[in-house]
Structure 1
């Protein structure tokens, strides 16, 4: 990810948090307190993202995006709600930053004549090495 992109601000009204019970370590606390965070962000209805960035974000997020275009990130790495909330927000920011970066268009090129000649020469040399290793019964009798 390039360093020249500024840190973007996602409008708070476009992000929705649900707190759910996490699995894993935590003792009885895990069964009583909803510390895991489920962040929901509607990509298609987002007001600050350009259309091409929305498409890139949907591609980047993969299966974390529903058919309606809602990105769902679950954060349950930490034992507190606040830490998990910040983790989910940081992951969302990272994904959006990545989506805002437009990849450079690659111009298709062809190998140069010298490169083609070098490739053929290497193939012929390799072929010769294999020919030298070949087993010929007459040579062994």
Structure 2
């Protein structure tokens, strides 16, 4: 699945709010936390099949309205937090739309099977040597 990241970025909206936690006066007066909002169901970048895959893979991140919400309050700067959340969003989308290759089953080589059986035989011999009932 190929998509245009620039077109995807145009569909994003942002909401700012005050960050919690440490920071003193800066936390109390500056809205530095940035929340990214992207409506999956209304996106024009992906077709219906791709949207279905995204909804399935990111189900735990998407709310009942079909919106993907991500936030960042790592930095004191609102602009830096926006960059962080957009970067994280693009990584998540890259992982979500990646097509996983189907695994081709292969036969276990005979040498590997024999090696495993040999290891088991040695381990069994080691354990039977420890048993005092069978050793005179």
Given the two structures, how large is their TM-score scaled by the length of structure 1?
0.78
Q: Structure 1: which 5+ residue stretches go unaligned? A: none
Q: CA deviation at 1:118?
A: 2.4
Q: Which residue of 2 aligns with 1:102?
A: 99
Residue 21 of structure 1 pairs with residue 18 of structure 2: yes
3-state SS in 2 of match to 1:40 = strand
Change (3 A) 1:23 1:114: same
Given the two structures, how large is their TM-score scaled by the length of structure 2?
0.81
* Contact 2:37-2:68 within 8 A present in 1 as well: yes
- Superposition map of 1:1-20 within 5 A: 8-20=5-17
The number of residue pairs the alignment matches comes to 135
Q: CA deviation at 1:51?
A: 4.7
RMSD value over aligned CA atoms? 2.6
* Contact 2:17-2:34 within 8 A present in 1 as well: yes
Change (3 A) 1:10 1:26: farther
Change (3 A) 1:125 1:50: farther
